[in-house]
Amino acid sequence: MKRSIISAMLVLLTLAAMAQTKVPLTREEKKVMRAEKKKQTEAMLSQVTADALRSGCFVLKADQVRGRVGYTINVNPTINFVAVEGQDAYVQLASSSGIGFNGLGGVTLHGRITSLDIDQANKHGAYNIIMNTVGPGGSLTIFMNVSKTGEMASATVRTNWGNSVDMNGVLVPWTGTGAKIFKGKETF
């Protein structure tokens, strides 16, 4: 009698253990799950980017800068950016050396936005932004191209003296954890 109870308990325990083990997903099921997760992430990022542009508070954090000569330099995105906060625009170029006009090894320009045009005419949902600013350092024209999700963004900043600089990076909302930037002393 004891043996039959013990063997019944062993059978029940093995059945319970077998029921708890996960059945491995097939390759196609994993592929569908990855595609669904990517689709959800893209939808969330698209909404965040659209909200940031609509609110007028966003930052293009540049991780690459290219000047007139054409050399591309990898830079720190927390101190190299184009930022818009309401009617104010900031353009900052800096290096980690800490020697420069703004205390960060570069220049910080601040200006009031005189015109801002945001267009989402691309069939993939990319944004084209044209912005004109006027400040103590002169006027700037900023052309920005931003992907639908904000993961790829570029800006060309032109001065009224004909100088220009190109920046590549990501666009994030000014408010929130993604926009951790350090603004130096305004040069002009």
pLDDT digits (tens, 9 = 90+) for 44-99: 999 999 999 999 999 999 999 998 788 899 999 999 999 999 999 999 998 877 67
- Please indicate, yes or no, if residue 11 is contained in any of the structural domains: no
CATH number at residue 117: 2.40.128.410
**What's residue 67's pLDDT?**
81
pLDDT digits (tens, 9 = 90+) for 156-175: 999 888 889 999 999 999 87
- Please indicate, yes or no, if residue 16 is contained in any of the structural domains: no
**What's residue 185's pLDDT?**
76
Show the domain range for 39.
30-179
Residue 19 pLDDT level (bands cut at 50, 70, 90): low
How many domains, the chain? 1
**What's residue 157's pLDDT?**
95
pLDDT digits (tens, 9 = 90+) for 90-126: 999 988 776 777 778 788 889 999 999 999 876 788 9
CB 170 within 8 A of CB 153: yes
- Please indicate, yes or no, if residue 47 is contained in any of the structural domains: yes
Please say if the pLDDT value at position 5 is more than 80.
Answer: no
Q: Is pLDDT larger for residue 7 or for residue 163?
A: 163
- Please indicate, yes or no, if residue 85 is contained in any of the structural domains: yes
- Please indicate, yes or no, if residue 111 is contained in any of the structural domains: yes
- Please indicate, yes or no, if residue 112 is contained in any of the structural domains: yes
Please say if the pLDDT value at position 1 is more than 60.
Answer: no
- Please indicate, yes or no, if residue 92 is contained in any of the structural domains: yes
